[in-house]
Amino acid sequence: MKIYKYPLNIDDEQEVSMPLGAEILTVQLQHGRPHLWAVVDDEQPNMCARKLVIIGTGNPMPEVGRYINTFQSVNGGFTLVWHVFEAA
């Protein structure tokens, strides 16, 4: 088992390919860009796509699954707050 890091985009929805059975730990900024960290079995040959939903504070919220984390980013002098969920 190892902890892997996956870069993300600040998009409404995206898929991240990771080994089957990976445990998502958190999403946070590193060098100004959001990243996801997960515990993975690096010997697992089967991959799966995990769908993530990122919702900005005050934006409409679709039905989503498990909450992962909240992070903040700065854009043009404004601090934006984002909430990350794994789609059900």
Q: Where are the domains of the chain?
A: 2-86
pTM for the complete prediction?
Answer: 0.91
pLDDT number for residue 70: 97
Q: Are strands 33-40 and 23-30 parallel, antiparallel or unpaired?
A: antiparallel
pLDDT number for residue 75: 80
pLDDT number for residue 74: 87
Which tens digit of pLDDT belongs to each residue from 70-88? Answer: 999 988 888 999 999 999 8
pLDDT number for residue 83: 98
Q: Which of 48, 83, 47, 49 is nearest to 66 (CA)?
A: 83
pLDDT < 50: residue spans in the chain = none
In what order do the strands lie in the sheet containing 47-56?
13-19, 47-56, 78-86, 66-75
Specify whether the CB–CB gap between 31 and 62 falls below 8 A: no
